[in-house]
Structure 1
Amino acid sequence: MIDLASHHVGPRRPRRPPRIDLTISDDVATVVLNAPTKLNALDEKALHELGRAYDEADAAGVRALVLRGEGRAFCAGRDISGVDPRDDDVMGYLGGLVTPLLQRMARFPAPTFAVAHGACLGVGLGLLIATDVVYVAETAKIGSPFAALGATLDSGGHAYFVDRLGPHRTLDLIYTGRLMSGAEAVAAGLFSRVLPEDEVVQATADAAAAAARGATAAFLASKQLVARIRDERLALWESVEAENAAQAALCDTDDYREGFAAFQQKRRPEFRGR
C-alpha cells in the first residue's frame, strides 16, 4: 500500500494518517477513501491526497482504476466540521480544488469504476459523476440534502440531474431534500447497475479486472467520444464521423491487429493495452 502522506525532515510531529489509500495490482489501481468515522467527507488536504493518488496511478500506467469508500458511506461530501461560514473560501474549495480534481478524474487515461454505497452526496456525488462506470449498492443515498444547510447542490450535480432526470424532478429533489435509493438512481439512468451491498465491491473489482485485460486504446477512444457527445452535444452524423476517425486510428495499434488475428484463428485475444 502506498502512503500518500508527505514526508518531512526535522523533529517528529504528530500527523494525521492519510485519508486516501492507493494499491496497484495486476494493472488495476484501487483508490480508497479511508476516513470512515467522517463518512469519508473530504477537506482540502484529502482532496490533494486524492489527486496525488490519481497521479500515481496514471504514472504507473494502470489499465483500470476502482474508487470506493471505507465504512458506512462512499462520501458524504465536504468535511465542514472545522469550517466557519463567516470566512469560508467557497470558491477556493470548489473552484480551486474540487473542479480541477473532477476534471482530472474524468480524463484519467484508462477505464474507471466506482462503488457507491451509503451516503453519496455533494462532492461525493461529483466523484461518481467524474467516473466512467458506477455500480451502486441498494443502500446508497443520492440526492441534494443541502437546503438544510442553506447551501445548494454542487460538483456538477445540477447538470447531471437535469440531463438524466429533467428539471422538474431535479428541483423536487433539491426542494424536498429527499434522497434516492441505489435502485431508484439506477432506474432513473443516473448510474450503471444496482447490486446488494455485500456484492457490489467484488462486482466492481471484477469489472475493472476484465477491463484491464482489454483493448485499452479502444476503450479510451469510446471514453473520449462519449465525453464529446456529452460536452459538445455532437449530432448523429458528427458522432459517426468521429467514430470513423477513431476506428481508423485504432488500425495502427497492436491490440487492433491482435483482435483480428485472434478472431481469424478462433482463439481468445491477448490484449496488451497498446
Structure 2
Amino acid sequence: MNASIQDTAADLVQVEHQDHATLVTLNRPQKMNALSASLVDALIAAVDDAHAHGSDLIVMRGAGRNFSAGFDFGGYEEQSEGDLLLRFVRIEQLLQKVATSPAVTLALAHGKNFGAGVDLFGACALRVAAPDATFRMPGLKFGLVLGTRRYAEIVGKQVARDVLTQTRTFGAEEAQLQGFVTELAGPADHDACIARALEAARALAAPVRAQLHQTLAPTTLDADLASLVRSAAEPGLKQRIRAYLGA
C-alpha cells in the first residue's frame, strides 16, 4: 500500500494518507498526548485534510503510553477564563467534526485516558481499546459539561449518571460491556482492526455512506455547544480548576 506522510503543526500530529484511509496520530507522548490548544487545532486541520482527500476511513490513535490524557492544564493560570473557554469550545468543535464525519471514524485507545481524550475516543464510530486501557471523565469536578450527552447516548442515561457522578475510572472490559468500547484489541492487532474498518467503510459508496451518516448525525450539536459554554462561562472557572488539580 502506497503511503505519504505529512507532519502537521510542528509534529504535534502525524498524518498518514493511505489508500482510502487517513491515520491521525496524536504525537505528544512526553505529555501523554494532552490536548493543548495547538494540538486541538492540528487535529481539526487533520480531519479537514482527511475529508479533502476523500478518505473513507479516519483513524485516531496516540503515540507513547496512551491515547490521550485530555485537556492540557499546563500554564492555565497564565490564561484568562475567556481563553480557557475558547479552548474548550475548540475541543467541542473537534468532537462534532469527528462525530459528523462522512468517513467511518476509528479510535484506537491504550493506557490511561482522561477527560476530553475520552470524549475524542467516544466521538468515533468504532472504538477499539487495548485490554490495559482505562477511562476517566472528571470534567464535572470543575463544573464542565463536555461530551456528556454523547457518552449517555452510547451507554444509556443510568450508566452515564453512575460513571459521571462518581467521576470514576473504568477499564476496557467494563467499557465494552457498556457499549462504549466496540472491540478489545491490543496494539499488535491494530493493523487488522484498521483493515476490517476500511473494508466496512467501503461496503457503501461514499455518497451513500455520507448520506447515512448525515441521517444518523446527532441533532443536538447546538445544544451541546450551548451546554458547554454555559458550564465553562460560570464565574470562577480557574478557581474550580485550581481546586480540582489540588484535590
Gaps of 5+ in 2: 222-247
Partner of 1:242: none
8 Å CA contact retained: 1:64, 1:208 = yes
More helix per residue: 1 or 2?
A: 2
Question: Amino acid of the residue matched to residue 6 of structure 2?
Answer: I
Please say if 1:91 is aligned against 2:82: no
Task: Work out which of the two has the higher radius of gyration on C-alpha atoms and give 1 or 2.
Answer: 1
8 Å CA contact retained: 1:145, 1:179 = no
CA distance in 2, matches of 1:58, 1:85: 35
CA distance in 2, matches of 1:80, 1:69: 19
Partner of 1:128: 121
Please say if 1:187 is aligned against 2:191: no
Partner of 1:109: 102
2:211 aligned residue (211, 215, 221): 221
* 1:24 Cα deviation from its structure 2 partner: 0.4
8 Å CA contact retained: 1:77, 1:124 = yes
Deviation per residue, 1:96-141 (Å, 9 max, x gap): x111121122222211111121223211122122211111111111
TM-score, normalized by length of structure 1? Answer: 0.70
CA distance in 2, matches of 1:198, 1:132: 19
Distance verdict in 2 for CA 1:146–1:210, change over 3 Å: same
Partner of 2:37: 44
Distance verdict in 2 for CA 1:77–1:188, change over 3 Å: same
Distance verdict in 2 for CA 1:41–1:213, change over 3 Å: same
Number of aligned residue pairs: give it. Answer: 215
Please say if 1:207 is aligned against 2:196: yes
Deviation per residue, 1:224-259 (Å, 9 max, x gap): 23225x759xxxxxxxxxxxxxxxxxxxxxxxxxxx
8 Å CA contact retained: 2:130, 2:172 = yes
Distance verdict in 2 for CA 1:168–1:199, change over 3 Å: same
Gaps of 5+ in 1: 6-16, 233-274
* 1:154 Cα deviation from its structure 2 partner: 4.0
Partner of 2:146: 155
Distance verdict in 2 for CA 1:55–1:140, change over 3 Å: same
Give the share of equivalent positions with the same residue, in percent.
Answer: 28
What's the Cα RMSD here? 2.4
Partner of 1:8: none
